[in-house]
A and B are shown apart, each in its own frame.
Chain A
Amino acid sequence: MASLRDIKTRINSTKKTSQITKAMEMTSAAKWNRGVMNAKSFVPYMEKIQEVTASIALGAGGVSHPMLTHRPVKKTGYIVITSDRGLAGAFNSNVIRRVHQTIKSRHTSNDEFAIIAIGRVGRDFFVKRGYNVVLDIIGVNDQPSFQDIKDIASTTVGMFSDGTFDELYVYYSHYISAISQEVNEKKLLPLTDISTSHKLTSYEFEPSAEEILEVLLPQYAESLIYGALLDSKASEHAARMTAMRNATDNAHELIRGLTLSFNRARQAAITQEITEIVGGAAALE
């Protein structure tokens, strides 16, 4: 049986750990709130741009644009959105596993695909395995603004336009609720499945539908990437909050068990002492 002092040390260190996890839970909760709010304030923009894009792409007959047409796939781009730090439960590994499996089942050689990594964990994983990571960005703010990722988003979209990729997917963790997130796979480009719930409006174009698509489609694709990032950030903080809450609960559980055995050991020591004293006194009589 562990000595009194050993148990005491363990209780203390577990307590310290639980304080840390508790603090992390609370900071994540605050960030999670902000993250969900950011994702919400992005919705009006997204809806509007989707509506306009759909109206133009579906409405104006005969408009074509490289971003709207499917072409033979020689190389696929995968955007993988993970976090920079761990301690968020299965948040990162879920995304990474999904991408890893997809790549293994779809491609036979490393030349057929390239990875764009947003977030350190994902980047490190794929770099370590010798995958072709063409672009990466780490240290994205917890409350990312559009400017933060504009560069990487427009470079990625540019790589589709100049023929480096023939299709582009994005993988990220979709936020459902505080305790549930799921990995989403979204085909970003070519934009073949634009749809909208709104009624299509027939617009006048100034100067022409083609020229508008020229500007609108890249902006649309970039905002899809940004939307995925916001979604992923909200999930990350929710996942970390849940993970940290579980850790705190486990620590409390552990402390309870340890306190019990500490008390037992103390009682045993007292009992033993009394027996020794009584035994000693009896020997004197």
Chain B
Amino acid sequence: MKTIKVSVVTPDGPVYESDVEMVSTKAKSGELGILPGHIPLVAPLEIGAVRLKLAGGKQEQIAVSGGFLEVRPEQVTVLAQAAEKASDIDIERAQRAKERAEQRLQQAQQEHVDFKRAESALRRAVNRINVAGNR
């Protein structure tokens, strides 16, 4: 089967690079599946997982905190401010981040401060935990 090159880059450096059979992820406008030979496309991503189907039926997941998907016929690039491979996620740290975010969210409900930020921190943490759980 044909493959397509995928790279995930963040400001702190490239996170992932490989050839895969299919990329699927959740964009702001809904689920997206990309196969080799797709027309050029740009789409903003939700905080979630980028699922990669490797040759030989194996799957791999990468947790991304928003960002973009750029598709060209021969290459897919994910530009995210933070991204982690499922195998690199520190579950304990993610758990702690989740608890912190939950605490802040409760305070925020009372004081109306930074609700959005706490919420997105919580979503990022939950996302990391989910992705790590699927590895």
Binding site for B on A (CB under 8 A): 38, 41-42, 44-46, 48-49, 52, 55-56, 145-147, 150, 201-207, 211-212, 215-216, 219, 222-223, 226-227
**Chain B contact residues: helix, strand, loop or mixed:** strand
Q: Which of A55, A145, A212 contacts B12 (CB 8 A)?
A: A145
In Å, the complex CA distance between A226 and B42 comes to 23
Q: Which of B39, B41, B72, B81 contacts A219 (CB 8 A)?
A: B81
Beta-carbon contact of A216 and B44 below 8 Å: yes
In Å, the complex CA distance between A2 and B9 comes to 64
Q: Which residues of A contact B11 (CB under 8 A)?
A: 42, 45-46, 146, 223, 226-227
Q: Which residues of B contact A211 (CB under 8 A)?
A: 28, 44
From 1 to 19 in chain B, residues with beta carbon under 8 angstroms from any chain A beta carbon are: 7, 9-14
Known contacts A201-B40, A205-B42; is-contact A45 B9 (Cβ 8 Å): yes
Given contacts A49-B68, A205-B41, A219-B67, 12 further A-B contacts (CB under 8 A): A41-B14, A42-B11, A44-B13, A46-B11, A48-B9, A52-B68, A146-B11, A207-B43, A212-B42, A215-B68, A216-B44, A219-B81
Which of B11, B40, B41: most chain A CB closer than 10 A? B11
Q: Which of A44, A212, A227 contacts B14 (CB 8 A)?
A: A44
From 35 to 55 in chain B, residues with beta carbon under 8 angstroms from any chain A beta carbon are: 39-44
Q: Which of A44, A205, A206, A212 contacts B9 (CB 8 A)?
A: A44
Known contacts A42-B11, A215-B68, A219-B67; is-contact A206 B43 (Cβ 8 Å): yes
Q: Which of B12, B27, B39, B68 contacts A204 (CB 8 A)?
A: B39
B31 to chain A, nearest CB (A): 11
B9 to chain A, nearest CB (A): 5
In Å, the complex CA distance between A204 and B29 comes to 13
Q: Which of B28, B29, B43, B82 contacts A146 (CB 8 A)?
A: B82
Q: Which residues of B contact A226 (CB under 8 A)?
A: 11
A sample of 20 cross-chain residue pairs with beta-carbon separation below 8 angstroms, ordered by A number, consists of A41-B13, A41-B14, A45-B11, A45-B13, A45-B14, A145-B12, A146-B81, A201-B40, A203-B40, A204-B40, A205-B42, A205-B43, A206-B41, A206-B42, A206-B43, A207-B28, A207-B29, A211-B28, A219-B68, A223-B11
Q: Which residues of B contact A212 (CB under 8 A)?
A: 42-44, 68
Q: At the interface, yes or no: B77 with Cβ under 8 Å from chain A?
A: yes
In Å, the complex CA distance between A19 and B88 comes to 41
Q: Which residues of B contact A215 (CB under 8 A)?
A: 28, 44, 66, 68
A260 to chain B, nearest CB (A): 52
Beta-carbon contact of A203 and B41 below 8 Å: yes
Q: Which of B10, B32, B42 contacts A45 (CB 8 A)?
A: B10
Q: Which of B27, B72, B77, B82 contacts A206 (CB 8 A)?
A: B27
Chain B residue nearest in CB terms to A143 = B12
Known contacts A52-B79, A146-B82, A207-B29; is-contact A42 B13 (Cβ 8 Å): yes
B8 to chain A, nearest CB (A): 10
Chain B residue nearest in CB terms to A47 = B9
A228 to chain B, nearest CB (A): 12
Chain A residue nearest in CB terms to B81 = A146
B3 to chain A, nearest CB (A): 20
Q: Which residues of A contact B70 (CB under 8 A)?
A: 48, 52, 203
In Å, the complex CA distance between A222 and B42 comes to 19
Which of A45, A46, A49: most chain B CB closer than 10 A? A45
